[in-house]
A = this chain, B = another copy of it.
Amino acid sequence: MTTLQDCRAMDAADPLAPLRALFELPPGTVYLDGNSLGVLPAATPARIARAVREEWGQGLIRSWNEAGWFDLPQRIGDMIAPLVGAGPGELVATDSTSINLFKVLSAALSIAQAAAPARRVILSERSNFPTDLYIAQGLGRLQGAQLRLVDEPGAIAAALGPEVGVLMLTHVNYRTGEMHDMATLSRAAHEAGVLAVWDLAHSAGAVPVDLHAAGADFAVGCGYKYLNGGPGAPAFAWVHPRHAGAFEQPLSGWWGHAAPFEFTPDWRPAPGIARYLCGTQPVLSLRALECGVETVLAAQPLGGMAALRAKSLALTDLFIALVEDGCAGHGLSLVTPRAHARRGSQVCLTRSEGAYAIVQALIARGVIGDFRAGDAQLPDILRFGFTPLYLRFEDVWQAAQQLREVLEGGEWRRPEFNRRHAVT
């Protein structure tokens, strides 16, 4: 079995190892929750301090022009674009993933129904991230559409009937780490006359994505996970150029107007991606997102997303192997697919009892993952995210070792590890 010494040798040979220095990791912590909140980049504190003291404090209102606040959403969008196979001017960093999904879902429905008014169904999966389902339900009430859910990925293609207008999927499942084949499903959607909307929350910066090659129509994604943009960082929206300018999104605020500072009473959408903006954006949080995206772009000279993907798979393969060996007999089962083509950048385990408490006991030992509750259909999940930018093979070894000790000693049964928090 792989030893700690082996892992240290793998780290010494890792061409991406220098990227870890771009982050401020808390000492003594193995952080396996970058799929929930990415680590603080080392450059962020100074950048934010400058934005606060100089841009805001000294520049004041002039900074909209002089510090480039005005088109920051578009410029950060252009930075994210190459990470997901998008072109310049096609992607904008703004608002939250939920809000952006509302925008693109409404646009996609409008386009689908303009071609065929009977296409009133948004098709998705029951296991999709809940906010995606909630937003589709809220939009559906307004726009006269129904959300329909399938229980298994294998059932998606067969469900693309003539009543379906939009297929809305999350590329990498937040609970299981299972990854869809974006190209195959987008093609199936198009062959059925359906538009494909993709949520890249667990993909952008984590796995290679090529929106153009996959034939996607719309996408949204998250700034605070693998893009390391900070808590609640602005999200992003992408629109394929074939749809740009073909409709108006309903959150038609002044920043999406063709000439916001003409202050005219009638809505006139900006050309291209700018019409996906709505209100004034939180500049300080955008500055943090900018730093976060730069950490992912720093991998470009070292092989970019392909190199990050290779390391991510090596990390998750190693974790699976170490857990299955070291924790054998402790009732853990692997939820995440073993097949590389179907695995995101996380490993999810389940256990019939104690999943929540085991995660809490690990956190107390400095190994930070998280818990996702199950229901009648889905099991409880112990979730471990692997961000190849800052994780070492040694960290993987330590995480598996701590998990073994927590299970062997039964310390997860202690009352303090069974107390629920508001945010899990």
B279 contacts A230, C-beta separation under 8 Å: no
Question: Within the oligomer, what is the number of copies of this chain?
Answer: 2
Q: Is the CB of B288 within 8 A of A284?
A: yes
Whether A69 is near chain B, meaning CB under 8 Å from some CB there, is: yes
Which of B31, B33, B60, B70 has a CB less than 8 Å from the CB of A423?
B70
Which partner residue on chain B sits nearest A278 by CB separation? B98
Interface residues of A in 165-206 (CB under 8 A from B): 175
* Chain A residues touching B, range: 35 or more
A232 engages B60 (CB within 8 Å): no
What's the Cα separation between A261 and B373 when bound, in Å?
8
Q: Is A397 an interface residue (CB 8 A)?
A: no
A141 adjacent to chain B (CB < 8 Å):
yes
Q: Is the CB of A53 within 8 A of B40?
A: yes
| Complex interface: stretch among A3-11, A75-83, A125-133, A410-418 | A125-133
Complex alpha-carbon distance, A250 and B71, angstroms? 28
- Asked whether A363 and B62 contact (CB < 8 A) given A40-B56, A141-B250, A248-B138, the answer is yes
Contact B250 A139 (CB under 8 A): yes
Among the 9-residue stretches A84-92, A251-259, A332-340, the one with 4 or more Cβ atoms under 8 Å from chain B is A251-259
Task: Tell me the bound Cα distance from A149 to B126 in angstroms.
Answer: 44
On whether the beta carbons of B363 and A253 are closer than 8 Å, the reply is no
Note all chain B residues with C-beta closer than 8 A to A233. Answer: 282
- Residues of A whose CB lies within 8 Å of any CB of B are 24, 26, 29, 31, 33, 36-37, 39-40, 44-45, 48-49, 52-53, 55-58, 60-65, 69-71, 95-99, 102, 106, 126, 128-131, 133-135, 137-139, 141-143, 149, 175, 224, 230-235, 248-257, 260-267, 278-286, 288, 363, 368, 370, 372-373, 375, 421-424
